[in-house]
Structure 1
C-alpha cells in the first residue's frame, strides 16, 4: 500500500529524531488509510472540520475588520503552518505532523481574540490551548471528536509558551515537531501583527526601534527569513536537543513582541474596540450560564456523553462562536426590536 511505502520513506529520509507516523498512537484504534499516514489523516480531519472553518471569522488583533487584507485567526493559522513546515522540511523532521499541529493549534480561540479569552478565563481554568484540545477530543465532529493521534494532540496542547523561555523543561511538547509550532506561532504573529498595525495606521515601520531592525531586518520578509534561518541553523548546531534560536536573535524577537504590546495591542484604538468584544462575550457567557437549555447542542451532548456541566456548556458554546455570530446573537438576546400591529 502507498501508506506503507510512505512510512518506510520516513525511516529512510527523515532525521533519526523525527517522529515517525508508524509509531503514532490513537486513543481509539481504527482501520488505517491505504494512502495516507496517520499524521496526514489528522491534518485532513482538522482541515475539513467545522471549528477550522470558523477561524476565518475570528479576530486576530483587529475586531471584525472591514478591510479585506487584515489577518483573521485562520490566516494566522495558515502562516504559522507555512513557517513551521519550512523549518520542519529543512531539519528533515516530520512535515505532516508539524502541519497537523499548526492547523489545529488555535481551534479553541474565542471570538474577539484574546479579549474573549480574558473573559472566559475569569469563569475558571479556560485557556485557548486547552480548549483547542477539547475541540478535537470532544466537540468537533458533532460531539464525537476527531480521534487524532496523541502526538498531534500533545503539540496542540503545548503550543502556547507565553513569556516562558524557549526551552522550559516540564512544559515542552513531546516531539520536536511540536516545538517547531511553538516557535513558528511567535514568528508568525509578531510579523503579521506589525504589518496589520501599519496598515491600520497605528504605527509605522520606521517606528520600530533600530536596535531591533538592525538584527532582524527592516521588512517582514527579512525578519521572517532571519528568524527561520536562526532556528534551523542553531537547532542543527545544538544537535537537535531542542528547537532553539540564536540568543541575540531570540532576544530581539522578544523586544519586538514587547514593543508591539506597548504600541499596538495596548493602544487606544485596539483596546477600545476589544473592550466592546469583552462586553459581548461576558454578556453571552452569563446569559447561557443561566439559560443553558437554550444552547443548541446541550441535550444532544448530554445524551452522547452522559454528563455535560452547564458551566462547561456555556464556555464551549461561546468560545466556539465567530465574531459576527457573537454580535448577531448578542443583538438577538439583548437589543430590543420595534414592532407594530398591522
Structure 2
C-alpha cells in the first residue's frame, strides 16, 4: 500500500464525519496521476508554496507601506499567521488540516502591490474590475507556469475565492458567500482573526494606535496582548462550532460582537487615518499612472519576468503585469518611467 493510501485511510479513520476527505475531492480541471506519498490537498499546498506568486508575498504590503523596521507584517507573514490559526482550529475540530493549510497559503496570492490600496486603484481603472480573491484564483488557474496554472483541486480554489470579506461580516449571512467546505470557512475566519490582531500590533509599533485608547470593554472581552486575543478568539471558534455540531464554523455572539467592533476600531483609527492615507494616495497614483502608461506603451512591459503570455486582451495583460509586481518593483518602475534622470 502506498503512503498516500495510508494517509487517506487515516483521514477516514480519525477525522470528523464533517471533514473533507482528500480521497473524495471533486478533482482538478486537468486530471493527473496520484502521488505515491502525498494526498491531493498536500500536493496543492506544495504547488502553492513553490510557485512564484508565493515568493513575491514577502515584498508586498500588509497595511504599512515601506515601514522603517524589521518587525512589521508583510503579506507573507500575514499568510503564515493565517495558516497557523487556521490549522489550530482545523486540528482541534478534527477537520482536514492539509486542505485548510493549502487554502490559507494560497488565499492572498493575487494581491497587488501596496495591499488593498493597489487593489482599489486597479478596480477603479481596469474595465473588468479587480479583486484580489479573484486574481488569486486567476493566478492558480491560468497565469502561473507560463499560463498552465497550478491545476489545484476544486476545494482549494473555492476556499481561495471565498475567503475575502472586504468590510462585510466575518461570518456571512448568505451561505452562498461562504466556502463550500468547513476547512474553507475556517480560513475565512482565521484571515480576520489574524489581521485584526497583527494590524493592531503594527499600529501600536508605528505609534498610530495606543493600547490605552482602545475601548476598555473590547480589551476586557478579548484580551490586551496579541496572544491573549488570538487565544480567546480561537478557543471560542472551536467551542461554538463544536456546540453547533460542526454545522458551520462559528463564533459565539459574546465574542463575535466585540471582534467586529475591534475591526471597526481598526478602520476608524488606523486604516483610514491621515498618516496612513497620505501614503495610500501616493500608492494609488503609482498604480493608476503605470496602468495608463503600459496601455499606451505595451512594449515596455517585461511580461516574461512573470511568465505572462500575451492573450489579445491588453487591459487584462497590463492588470496582470501590475498585480504581479511587488511594492519595490512598482515604485522602481514608476521612477524609471516618470522621474527624470541626469544625463550628464
Match of 2:57 in 1: 55
Name which of 299, 310, 316 aligns with 1:312: 316
Which deviates more, 149-158 or 307-316?
307-316
> Does the 8 A contact of 1:60 with 1:112 survive in 2?
yes
Q: Report the number of matched residues.
A: 337
- 1:144 aligned partner: 148
Q: Does residue 235 of the first structure (1) align with residue 235 of the second (2)?
A: no
Tell me the alpha carbon deviations over residues 34-80 of structure 1, each in whole angstroms, 9 at most, x when there is no partner: 11101000001100111000000000010012310000000000000
Which residue of structure 2 lines up, in the alignment, with residue 201 of structure 1?
Answer: 207
- Flag structure 1 segments of 5+ consecutive residues without an equivalent: none
**TM-score of the pair, normalised by structure 1:** 0.96
Which structure 2 residues correspond to residues 1-342 of structure 1 after superposition, within 5 A? 1-24=2-25, 25-122=27-124, 123=126, 124-165=128-169, 166-167=171-172, 168-297=174-303, 302=309, 307-340=311-344
Q: Is the 8 A contact 1:151 1:175 kept in 2?
A: yes
CA shift, 1:317, in A, is 0.5
| Partner Cα distance (1:218, 1:66) in 2 | 25
SS at match of 1:142: coil
Show CA shifts across 1:274-330 (max 9, x none): 1111111111111112222332237x8557xxx341010011000110000001111
Contact persistence 1:302–1:308 (CA under 8 A) = no
- Indicate conservation of the 8 Å contact 2:147/2:309, yes or no: no
CA contact (8 A) 1:107 1:132 kept: yes
TM-score, structure 2 normalization: 0.95
Q: Cα offset for 1:125? A: 2.1
Once residues 145 and 153 of structure 1 are traced to their aligned partners in structure 2, the CA distance between those partners, rounded to angstroms, is 12
Secondary structure, aligned partner of 2:91: helix
Which stretch has the larger CA shift, 87-96 or 215-224? 215-224
Q: C-alpha separation between the residues in 2 aligned to 1:161 and 1:308?
A: 32
* C-alpha RMSD over aligned residues: 1.4
